[in-house]
């Protein structure tokens, strides 16, 4: 039984368009939309919790769905290495394997492969790399990645791209972009062919292309135009979570988003903080993912309406108030900041559960507020009120 807060979730058969652009904020580029996937209808803007290896750490799939998340992210690189895409396919696809009733997006693994510089080698045909698990040798080509992602059975699958490190020279970014564009075309060709040749757990996954180009305006423009020409159902902006400044990320969005088709969803990969999300929504972004809510939770930090807090700070030793006085999640309703700090300092497993749950609840509440404010035509006022309280808090 679905939580009533998931009100807009319906089966795909009830609607036909893949993406509906429902409204746009008259004062900004903020968009309110609806994404129809093979498993769910996903209201946008949307935040996707990161379940890299088939789980969002410290959370159950049922908790995520009840909290209001209609879609999560899995990672092709990690799932390919363990447990293996063929095993997942044998289980009936990733949805059945992990017991998830919502939608799934799988990253192609490009970011993971390219971040492991000491155990990979890039060539025009693809990337050779060693497994971090057992040292075995592997080759990811666009064709191989499409095969793996189709076997996993996600609702949205990402093209294989090169994610250049930051900083990098214009010359290297240009060479890298050539590979990304070549691989994107090969992904599209392979995707079309493989879907006809075999049966897969999900018969209708949607392929998204990825815009790259580092922090260079001319390359971002070139990439946006090329990826848009492939006519994939959605388009992602990649390469913005590898060490760029916030200013650079916003510039990349401002260069890229206006060049993308308005009738397709726009996905900003690997971003971000609450302020990042608000700033990006303002510039026309529809989809987000980031490890911060779960990672920071496991490391003793929490997002609250009064700002981010670090429970390692001694000031919370005798703080017998809720973690966030404005939050109604079960963590804040039942436990004090002092108790949660005690759990963290005692290395108790429960603290990861509590803080991860709270952080994700905070993110979903933020996203719901953004959606409503765009619908009601008051997104700028919502953004300003949220940031005034969030950035003016004194509990850090």
Catalogue the active-site residues: 107, 289
**163 DSSP 8-state letter:** -
Residues written for the chain: 396
Give the span between the Cα atoms of 253 and 105, in whole angstroms: 21
For the chain, how long is the longest CA-to-CA vector?
Answer: 63
CB 19 within 8 A of CB 36: yes
Burial of 392 (0-12, 13-18, 19+ CB in 10 A): exposed
CB 358 within 8 A of CB 332: yes
Rg (CA), the chain: 21
Residues forming a β-bridge with 148: none
Structure tokens at 233: 């159902």
Distance from C-alpha of 286 to C-alpha of 220, rounded to nearest angstrom: 19
The candidate with the shortest Cα–Cα distance to 18, out of 229, 232, 278, is 232
Grouping H, G, I as helix, E, B as strand and the rest as coil, residue 142 is helix
> Which of 210, 213, 122, 230 has its CA nearest to residue 174?
213
Q: Please say whether the beta carbons of 235 and 267 come within 8 A.
A: yes
What is the Cβ-side half-sphere exposure of residue 256, based on CA atoms within 13 angstroms? 31
| Cα distances (Å, whole numbers) of residue 228 to 47, 185, 210 | 23, 11, 9
């Amino acid at each position: 039984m679905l939580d009533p807060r998931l009100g807009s979730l319906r089966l795909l058969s009830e609607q036909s368009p893949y993406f509906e652009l429902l409204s746009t904020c008259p004062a900004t580029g903020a968009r309110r939309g609806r994404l129809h996937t093979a498993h769910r209808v996903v209201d946008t803007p949307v935040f996707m919790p990161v379940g890299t290896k088939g789980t969002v750490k410290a959370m159950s799939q049922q908790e995520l769905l009840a909290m209001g998340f209609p879609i999560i992210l899995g990672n092709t690189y990690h799932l390919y290495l363990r447990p293996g895409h063929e095993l997942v396919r044998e289980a009936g696809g990733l949805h059945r394997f992990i017991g998830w009733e919502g939608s799934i997006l799988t990253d192609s693994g490009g970011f993971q492969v390219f971040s492991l510089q000491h155990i990979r080698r890039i060539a025009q045909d693809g990337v050779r790399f060693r497994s971090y698990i057992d040292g075995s040798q592997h080759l990811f080509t666009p064709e191989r990645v499409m095969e793996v992602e189709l076997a996993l059975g996600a609702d949205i699958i990402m093209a294989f791209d090169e994610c250049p490190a930051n900083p990098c020279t214009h010359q290297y970014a240009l060479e890298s972009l050539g590979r990304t564009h070549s691989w994107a075309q090969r992904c599209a060709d392979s995707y079309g062919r493989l879907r006809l040749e075999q049966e897969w757990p999900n018969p209708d996954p949607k392929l998204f292309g990825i815009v790259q180009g580092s922090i260079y305006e001319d390359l971002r423009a070139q990439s946006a135009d090329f990826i848009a020409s492939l006519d994939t159902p959605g388009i992602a902006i990649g390469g913005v979570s590898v060490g760029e400044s916030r200013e650079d990320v916003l510039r990349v969005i401002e260069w890229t988003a206006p060049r993308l088709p308005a009738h397709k969803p726009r996905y900003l990969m690997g971003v971000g903080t609450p302020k990042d999300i608000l700033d990006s929504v303002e510039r026309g972004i529809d989809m987000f993912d980031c490890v911060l809510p779960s990672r920071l939770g496991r490391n003793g930090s929490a997002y609250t309406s009064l700002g981010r807090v670090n429970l390692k700070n001694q000031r919370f030793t005798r703080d017998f108030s809720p973690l966030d006085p404005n939050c109604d999640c079960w963590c804040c309703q039942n436990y004090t900041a002092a108790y949660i700090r005690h759990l963290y300092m005692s290395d108790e497993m429960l603290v990861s559960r509590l803080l991860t749950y709270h952080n994700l609840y905070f993110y979903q509440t933020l996203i719901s507020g953004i959606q409503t404010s765009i619908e009601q035509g008051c997104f700028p006022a919502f953004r300003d009120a949220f940031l005034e309280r969030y950035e003016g808090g004194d509990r850090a």
